[in-house]
Structure 1
Amino acid sequence: MLGFFPQLYPDELLYSWFARYHLYCNNASPKQTMIDLYGDEKQLAVPDLPTNLEEINGRVRHFIKQTADDWISQHTFFRFYTSFALPEFRARAQETMRTNARDSSLHMLTGVMASTFKDKKYFEYCAICAEEDLKTHGEMYWHLPHQLPGVLVCTKHGVPLRKSLAPFRPDNRHHYVAATRETCPSLAPIISYDPKTMEHLQEISLEAERLVQRDYTFDREAIRQTYLVLLQKQELARGKSHVYQRKLAEQFRAFYGDECLRILQSEVSMEGENSWLRAITRKHRRAFHPIRHLLLIRFLGETLESISSQIHTPYNPFGDSPYPCLNHAADHFRESIVSDLKITRCTDTGKPVGTFTCNCGFQYSRRGPDLIETDRFRIGRIKEFGPVWQSRLEKLIHVEKLSYRAAARMLGVDPNTVIKYSKQSIPSVMVEPSKPCDLLEIKQKQWVDLRTRYPHAGTTQLRKEDNALYSWLYRNCRDWLAANSPMPTDSNQSKARIDWGARDLRLSKQIHKAAQQLRQETPPIRITLHGIARRVRSKALIEQHLDKLPETKKALTKLSESKDAFHVRRIHWAVQKIREAGEELVEWLILRVAAIRQPLSLAVEQEIHNAMIDPAFAERSAL
């Protein structure tokens, strides 16, 4: 337990707090400070993700009420690096920072090592903040937001940050360096930026600061789907996953400018397949630096706060249901009562096409997306007029004796359309415009009449006679349609000529033998259902008749390897190879030899951990 410790300031980096303690104690050696804080002179002075914080918390608990978890979330880079990380990695990183004395895998867990984004070379400071700190507290300190990678502007004063003389990761990793007049000279050069670049840098710095102030957690797949939805709204993507990558890259570069992207280490290539912008809009197979997430979010016109509320919100290019019925013949014309919407894609443009079907039988479509409110009342094409419209047309022409042109004006169509439909046969059941709910009865009676006209026809032939009627009944009353359709005729089934039992036993033995051969391959390859099927040259048989081969199915289920099981077997092989080469077992080398990429499951992570700490691991792996 320590007899003295300074006060922890708001938004102060934990490293800065320990550095001020080292400064006040005037310890001759950095190792003495490490012994005071950790009880271990070999502990490292890590600026961003320090570890073993519960040990320090226990020594200064009588000075401060905050817990080690409070320090982790409010005074380190933890939230910044884990807001977009996998939940299991986030939990493990927090546990490592809380309890582990030294863990070289911490930066790998958070995805820092996988990113090409570099840390700052020196601690940075705002000259105005430094003067205010001296006036308020009598000393300077390292502000956490100012040290975040990609933060180049003080959001409080709107001025560029200055580089101090203190290296962010010095050669002496055991030494804490405090913010003082000596390390933060007032004559340090000021970097100037283009006004447009300065605006972008200030907004990105503000969002990065919010990452450490609030506890955001974004699921990787959910945030990717949200990006796709927002790209679709800007016509930069279509369908479930197709992104117009070249168009996106062009607009992205035009929005930020090459200078800003270069400063933020996020330059974008128009053609390169390895561009981070391409990868972040595809399935996330690796972690991306938080600054690059923030760049894309800002480009899409969103903020952390707004995009977090849109997670899991599907993209609807035609707005929310219900939609207006645009049948001029119905008494509910322009009323929002349509809930039946089918969305397809235009084969020429790739844009969404919505088909709206009302209970009155009126069906229309238009190409989207809707950009303004009046688009909801726009018709691209009328696909079906329905009985209500047909009945109104019959009344106007044959009862009220209106001209084709006058009827066309009232029905909202071209006179030629009125002429065409007025000459067609009249439905046997007339429907008043005020009763659109009778449509189901009309359609069902039409189907019964169709069966009466073709008493010996099967369902397929009836469908050919009136495909639109069959499709409507299939969508709206499938059970009734099945009960009122012709019964299928029985076809003479040929007697089974294959002894499936004998074939099943023979094939299951071949599968066991093939799996054994696959397991002996070096380097190890994964044993999968398709791999075994190819090895026994019965892929088509297994895919098409597996239900007739119970022993074969049981063997495939038993012998097929999960991804984690294969990774564990691959790790065993890699450890043995490394030991034979006489090299040291370290995590990065095991992963490289085993050819396994991040992220890893907890089971695989544990297996690697066991390999590094258990001398007998290689011998057991070889058995």
Structure 2
Amino acid sequence: MLPFFTNPYPNELLYSAIARYHFYSGNLDCKDTLEELFDSRCVIPSVEIGSYFSVLAEKLGSRYSVESLLANHTIYPYYASFLSKARQQQILQDVLKGGQALYTRLGIVAGSVCKKDGLYYCAECAKVDHAQYGEPYIHREHQLQGINYCPHHEVPLRKYPITMDSRIQYVRFELKHMNLTAIYDVEPYKEIAVAIAKQAYQLLQLPLHELSREIITSKYRVLLRERNFITASNRVRQKELYQAVSSHFPNGFLQCYESELNEVYEYNWLKVLLRNSKRHIHPLRHLFLQNFLQQDIKSLVITSTDKGAFGAGPFPCLNKAASHYKQFIIQNVDVTRDFKKKNLIGTFTCSCGFIYARKHTTDIFKIGRVKAFGEIWLQKLNEFANGNLSIQAMARELGVDSKTIKRYLNGNVELNKYEDSKTVDEQLVWYKHELLEGMKQLPNLSRTQLRRQFQKQYIYIYRHDNAWLAENLPVKQQKQTPTKSVDWIKRDQQYVKQIKVLHNQLLTEEKPIRITRSIIGNRLGILANLERHLNKLQQTKQLLQEITESVRDFQLRRCYKIIDESLENNVPILLWQVQRVAAIKSHHFHEIKPILETYIAMKQDVKNDERTTS
């Protein structure tokens, strides 16, 4: 155990506390400090998190644990809530030892956004720290990627002017090197940037691993469902969501924070974030989505997880005539969408024949509409009728309006030959009546015109009794003019010209885009023809075979571009840097590494020959 240690201040990075310890201990060599703290002179200091926490916690005594150091004095909580439960446990094991896989698991290497290249501070926080503790220190909330404002004082962060000259070095904040003036540049996105900074700070205050990717994704679906971005089949309305998120943020904001949305790209961050995918999404982008959903971390924590629009079931039977009234015996719900208002409607069918529907926002014991009363309900009605009860009394006992009782007692419920008397859908009967009346009043309307004139009725009948429509609608009218045949040869030549122009544009994009049939088809608006009629477009087919890229081809092109730029700028080529900038996973990079080495040698030989001849 150490004889003394400079205990971390609130929200101080462990790196900062160790830098202070190194200063006050009087050690001249950082390696001596590393040996005292970690029993090793080979540990590489890490600003964000660190490693060998098990050794350090033992040295510091019972006051500190691995979990408390990780939760309170690293930036790990910024990432933790958006990691899977399995990956959270892996990271706990990583920090106990050397932490070789730590930053890869966090996605900091491949998924970095607005990466910071130094240490940052808030001038106002530095003044407060000096007054309270006698010295400034490194706040972890100021070092987060993508966070440019102090969440406490709402002022821009400033970069500390001292750079790290060695990998084995600890930088300690000193007031004399800080710019403490209260003059700041005007920022165009200050309001929303400050809100994001406050959200990020709340992440740091969460108990370790209170949230995980599985939990938070489920909560997102609840919030999206409330805003009608989830379909009746439980799918995300990606196009509508993309448009809503894009319009929510100020023009240029997402581009400024390296998070521009590309609707065409299958793996844009908004789509991946809401899928059950192993791809890492940066915490900053999660905060953008939460800002759009008008949530902060505190409100997100108390949001329930998704159990479907109507919950997981079972559901109550609301047939007042049945002995199992209000008992949870209905196992499933049929979810549809209201054609007019777009609300989700759940239909609940009980074995007693009682069928009712309600909106997903209403109380589970409240009926929106009864679709069928069933045999038990009808038997009870007949018993009450024979017992000389009043209409109002029967209505109260059976849970319906008195008009419904009268209609059934008078036999005014119309039954169609396609309907079972045990499960009469009153809405279906009424809509059929309205459509037949419309056809009588407007006898010259075609099927298409009727569908447009009576949209609500037509769609409902189509879903519940399509055979009735086929029998009762007017005969289909034949088209008077023949369909024009397509000149596929001319269209083929036209497509080839368009694709060549687009191909050249895609190759010059600053951020490389993989050239695929779907990208070309979507950009040109011809994807349907490329998928269905490509055999009729022989020149187009041949051109696509020549220019479309496999995943490996795309990886090589990205690497070639980085290598060419390095050679042009006379920058040494390091393959590990090429891998990092190109964002290629290690097992893929090992496969293409020999090809890249050959390419580098060839390009260098060409460059040397040019120098010799000149």
- Who is 1:538 aligned against? none
Contact 1:162 1:189 in 2 (8 A): no
Contact 2:116 2:143 in 1 (8 A): yes
- Structure 2: stretches of 5+ with no match in the other structure: 417-574, 593-614
- Who is 1:412 aligned against? 404
Relative distance call for 1:324 and 1:139 in structure 2 (3 A) is same
Deviation readout 1:325-356 (Å, 9 max, x if unpaired):
487xx699xx9567537422438858643223
- Who is 1:343 aligned against? 333
Q: For the residues of structure 2 that align with 1:423 and 1:344, how far apart are their CA atoms?
A: 24
Contact 1:161 1:190 in 2 (8 A): no
- Letter aligned with residue 203 of structure 2: L
- Who is 1:160 aligned against? 156
- Letter aligned with residue 378 of structure 1: G
Give the alignment of 1:30-109 within 5 angstroms. Answer: 30-31=30-31, 33-35=33-35, 37-38=37-38, 40-57=40-57, 61=60, 65-100=63-98, 103-109=99-105
Give the alignment of 1:84-233 within 5 angstroms. Answer: 84-100=82-98, 103-167=99-163, 170-187=164-181, 190-194=184-188, 197-213=189-205, 214-233=207-226
- Who is 1:369 aligned against? 360
**Per-residue deviation, 1:409:** 6.6
- Letter aligned with residue 241 of structure 2: L
Contact 1:77 1:212 in 2 (8 A): yes
TM-score of the two chains, using structure 1 as the length reference: 0.56
- Who is 1:547 aligned against? none
Relative distance call for 1:275 and 1:391 in structure 2 (3 A) is same
Q: For the residues of structure 1 that align with 2:97 and 2:405, how far apart are their CA atoms?
A: 75
- Who is 1:314 aligned against? 307
Relative distance call for 1:394 and 1:164 in structure 2 (3 A) is same
Deviation readout 1:255-295 (Å, 9 max, x if unpaired):
33344434543332333222101011112222222222333
Contact 1:117 1:265 in 2 (8 A): yes
1:388 counterpart = 2:380: no
Relative distance call for 1:166 and 1:239 in structure 2 (3 A) is farther
- Letter aligned with residue 12 of structure 1: E
Give the alignment of 1:495-574 within 5 angstroms. Answer: none
Q: 2:368 aligns with which of 347, 368, 378?
A: 378
Contact 2:94 2:102 in 1 (8 A): yes
Relative distance call for 1:410 and 1:12 in structure 2 (3 A) is same
Q: For the residues of structure 2 that align with 1:419 and 1:172, how far apart are their CA atoms?
A: 93
- Who is 1:282 aligned against? 275
Q: For the residues of structure 1 that align with 2:385 and 2:82, how far apart are their CA atoms?
A: 64
Q: For the residues of structure 2 that align with 1:411 and 1:326, how far apart are their CA atoms?
A: 18
Q: For the residues of structure 2 that align with 1:417 and 1:264, how far apart are their CA atoms?
A: 68
Q: For the residues of structure 1 that align with 2:68 and 2:414, how far apart are their CA atoms?
A: 78
- Who is 2:235 aligned against? 242
Q: For the residues of structure 2 that align with 1:268 and 1:339, how far apart are their CA atoms?
A: 46
Deviation readout 1:393-426 (Å, 9 max, x if unpaired):
7976998999xxx9x97243795995444999xx
Q: For the residues of structure 1 that align with 2:8 and 2:371, how far apart are their CA atoms?
A: 70
Relative distance call for 1:264 and 1:339 in structure 2 (3 A) is farther
- Letter aligned with residue 182 of structure 1: K
Identical counterparts, % of pairs:
25
Relative distance call for 1:344 and 1:127 in structure 2 (3 A) is same
The alignment covers a number of residue pairs equal to 420
* Paired residue secondary structure (1:229): helix
**Per-residue deviation, 1:4:** 5.6
**Per-residue deviation, 1:21:** 3.0
Give the alignment of 1:574-589 within 5 angstroms. Answer: none
1:252 counterpart = 2:245: yes
Relative distance call for 1:190 and 1:338 in structure 2 (3 A) is same
- Letter aligned with residue 162 of structure 1: R
Deviation readout 1:138-179 (Å, 9 max, x if unpaired):
111011222122333333334333333245xx4522222122
Contact 1:324 1:377 in 2 (8 A): no
Q: For the residues of structure 2 that align with 1:589 and 1:391, how far apart are their CA atoms?
A: 69
Q: For the residues of structure 1 that align with 2:283 and 2:401, how far apart are their CA atoms?
A: 59
Q: For the residues of structure 2 that align with 1:414 and 1:269, how far apart are their CA atoms?
A: 59
Contact 2:335 2:347 in 1 (8 A): no
Relative distance call for 1:377 and 1:148 in structure 2 (3 A) is same
Q: For the residues of structure 2 that align with 1:377 and 1:241, how far apart are their CA atoms?
A: 23
Deviation readout 1:328-385 (Å, 9 max, x if unpaired):
xx699xx95675374224388586432234687442335x333x56994422x62345
- Who is 1:573 aligned against? none
Q: For the residues of structure 2 that align with 1:89 and 1:594, how far apart are their CA atoms?
A: 24
Deviation readout 1:446-503 (Å, 9 max, x if unpaired):
xxxxxxxxxxxxxxxxxxxxxxxxxxxxxxxxxxxxxxxxxxxxxxxxxxxxxxxxxx
TM-score of the two chains, using structure 2 as the length reference: 0.57
Contact 1:81 1:290 in 2 (8 A): yes
**Per-residue deviation, 1:75:** 0.8
* Paired residue secondary structure (2:588): helix
**Per-residue deviation, 1:96:** 3.0
**Per-residue deviation, 1:249:** 1.3
Relative distance call for 1:411 and 1:23 in structure 2 (3 A) is same
**Per-residue deviation, 1:240:** 5.8
Contact 1:341 1:355 in 2 (8 A): no
- Structure 1: stretches of 5+ with no match in the other structure: 425-582, 597-623
Give the alignment of 1:349-498 within 5 angstroms. Answer: 352-357=344-349, 361-366=353-358, 368-370=359-361, 376-379=366-369, 382-389=371-378, 392=381, 410-412=402-404, 418-421=410-413
Relative distance call for 1:126 and 1:395 in structure 2 (3 A) is same
Relative distance call for 1:397 and 1:300 in structure 2 (3 A) is farther
Which region of structure 1 is more displaced relative to structure 2, 123-132 or 357-366?
357-366
Relative distance call for 1:359 and 1:68 in structure 2 (3 A) is closer
* Paired residue secondary structure (2:119): strand
Contact 1:361 1:386 in 2 (8 A): yes
* Paired residue secondary structure (2:110): coil
Q: For the residues of structure 1 that align with 2:402 and 2:585, how far apart are their CA atoms?
A: 78
* Paired residue secondary structure (1:354): strand
Q: For the residues of structure 2 that align with 1:323 and 1:205, how far apart are their CA atoms?
A: 45
Q: For the residues of structure 1 that align with 2:121 and 2:406, how far apart are their CA atoms?
A: 72
Contact 2:225 2:309 in 1 (8 A): no
**Per-residue deviation, 1:235:** 1.3
The alignment yields a C-alpha RMSD, in angstroms, of 4.4
